[in-house]
Chains A and B, each alone.
Chain A
Amino acid sequence: MSVLRLFTGRTASAPVARERLQILLAHERSLRGQPDLLMQLREEILAVVSRHVVLDPDKVIVRMDRGKHVSTLEVDIELPSGADRAFASAG
């Protein structure tokens, strides 16, 4: 702390830098590796459903949405025509 700062009233900027970094990095770390996780989820879901129904792998979409309060995982699988009857007879 210098005498000059007492007069100019200028405050240290390092604490601001530190706080901004901590918030930013917490966010970035939480996102890190996520595409891989989604890809893995997609593969596993595809494998499970394929055991029962023949699927077009391109018609399986797994999406993650991050909200402030609620995050959602959306799984969208398009069944080929005729597959719904297989489900109905099994149920």
Chain B
Amino acid sequence: MAKVLVVTSGKGGVGKTTTTAAMGAALAQAGEKVVVVDFDVGLRNLDLVLGAERRVVFDLINVVHGVAKLPQALIRDKRLENLWLLPASQTKDKDALTEDGVGRVIHELRKTFDWVICDSPAGIERGAMLAMRYADEAIIVTNPEVSSVRDSDRIIGMLDSKTVRAENGERVEKHILITRYDAGRAARGEMLSIDDVLEILATPLLGIVPESQDVLRASNVGCPVTLNSPASAPARAYHDAMRRLLGEEVEMQIPVERKGLMNLLLGRRAA
């Protein structure tokens, strides 16, 4: 039974595209057949993060408008045979997406894939609404910081009212993924704690991804962090999150700061 998963947040720059790429790759590595769909029309980036930017010929909007058939637009990952990308258009207007058109594409994708992961644009406009519209589950990417938490709360309200599931009286299963978590700042009380975020948003936690150079490095080379540096802390966090998404019980690892005695005394962040 195919599942449609939206990766959303409201706020920009919190790590939606990174998360889509990493979770998509992790699920594909676990043997699931996955398609990641970029909904950020005009500002596509999922192709770049996945290293497929030079292989884009047709896109989601071409398929919605019947200019291309779905198999023509799908790009298969060169490293993971189970992972596919449906890119967004870089040139078209975001109004080119229609609710019915997106519905037809999602319906088609459900027939072939185990997971349809929709990478939402930031904001609460049309693109974001359409990305969540047909979702069965949602990952709300949240940074432990006031504006991100506020926007996540808004998005949770929309998932509970504006989705097809909500309108049919069903629930979209929601998960919080905390990203860019800085253990040192949390320990010094300079950053909202995991418990604060979860209590405020009243939504279960899927995982905690620490702030890390490995994420940036993975984007630079166009490879999901779970593939590029599988032993790194963020890759392990995404891998655990993927297993929880598949229904496994995995103990939650809260990232801790490693620092020397001098830093400890000065309350300084480890470099």
Contacts and interface: CB of A to CB of B under 8 A. Distances in A.
The size class of the interface chain A forms with chain B is 20 to 34
A52 interface: no
Interface of A: 1-5, 11-15, 17-18, 20-22, 24-25, 28-29, 32-33
A1 B190 CA distance: 11
Interface string B183-214: 00010111111001000100000000000000
A22 B196 CA distance: 10
B146 interface: yes
B190 A14 contact: yes
B107 interface: no
Contacts of B1: none
8 contacts: A2-B188, A4-B267, A4-B268, A5-B188, A11-B189, A25-B200, A28-B153, A29-B153
Given A2-B267, A3-B266, A29-B153, A17 B192 contact: yes
B189 A12 contact: yes
Contact of A24 (B150, B265, B267, B268): B150
Contacts of A25: 150, 153, 200
B229 interface: no
The size class of the interface chain B forms with chain A is 20 to 34
Nearest to B152: A25
Given A15-B189, A18-B192, A18-B200, A3 B265 contact: yes
Contact of B157 (A17, A18, A32): A32
Interface in B143-180: 145-146, 149-150, 153-154, 157, 161
B250 interface: no
A65 B190 CA distance: 38
A16 to B, nearest CB: 9
Contacts of B96: none
Contact of A14 (B154, B189, B265): B189
B270 interface: no
Contact of B149 (A2, A21, A29, A32): A21
B264 interface: yes
A22 B189 CA distance: 17
A73 B192 CA distance: 38
